[in-house]
Amino acid sequence: MAKFYEIYPMRGGFFRNLSINSALILINLVAFAFFGILLLSKIIPIDFIAIRPSNILSGKYLWTFLTSMFMHGGFFHIFANMFSLFFIGSLVERILGPKRYLYFYLASGIFASLFFVMLSLVFKGDFNTYAVGASGALFGLIGFLMVITPNLPVFMMFIPIPIKMKYAAPGILVVLWIISSAGEIPIGNTAHLGGLIAGLGYGLYLKHVYKNKTRYIRRYFS
């Protein structure tokens, strides 16, 4: 992380003028339509795309660590995730640069899914619950900003005033947990927590290795 990076364009073809974050959003949208067609047409079962602890623990469908990140459970699900990714991801890409941002995004999503599977084993939860969506990776970005830009003012859902990132990040996690518990809504809270932990870990690592640069970033976005 040698400096603040500009959003470098991707070279070649249609993606020439897209940032990594814009490309990720586009891929998510295309995958949502593509996977939806395959599932509605019953060409493949959901086990081929969504992550399920029983499958992973049996050594099956291991590629779903990746495919589940680009599948969503409905229009509102993908809209909420992509809307958040548009703003949060753009900022993180500026800080990390395109390549590091891409690797970090994918690693956060995979770690979130792994955390989801491991906690279902530890707490003997429902091994047949499916998990999909970009929110694990998204919470990785949120956790990262919580460390690198803790005083960055952001708007949290349903609250009309800006809140510092260091308070908003855990606040979003708690609110989603309450909503899912009170309304019995299937939200991947453990995957969100896993993504947040991955982001916090990477942020703390960079804060330790690049003390001066991260201090400058923290002041710049305060």
> How buried is 109 (Cβ within 10 angstroms: 0-12 exposed, 13-18 middle, 19+ buried)?
buried
Decide if 192 is catalytic: yes
**Cα R_g (the chain), whole angstroms:** 18
Catalytic residue among 135, 181, 208, 222: 135
Tell me the average pLDDT of the chain.
86
> Rounded to an integer, what distance in angstroms lies between the CA atom of residue 133 and that of residue 66?
10
- Which pLDDT score is estimated for 125? 67
- For residue 108, the tally of other CB atoms under 10 A from its CB is 29
pLDDT tops 90 at residue 48: yes
> Could you read off the pLDDT of 20-34 as tens digits, one per residue?
999 999 999 999 999
Catalytic residue among 19, 192, 208, 222: 192
Evaluate whether the domain defined by 13-220 bears CATH number 1.20.1540.10: yes
The closest alpha carbon to 80, from 69, 91, 72, belongs to: 72
pTM for the model: 0.87
> Could you read off the pLDDT of 61-111 as tens digits, one per residue?
999 999 999 999 899 999 989 999 999 999 999 999 999 999 999 999 999
Decide if 72 is catalytic: no
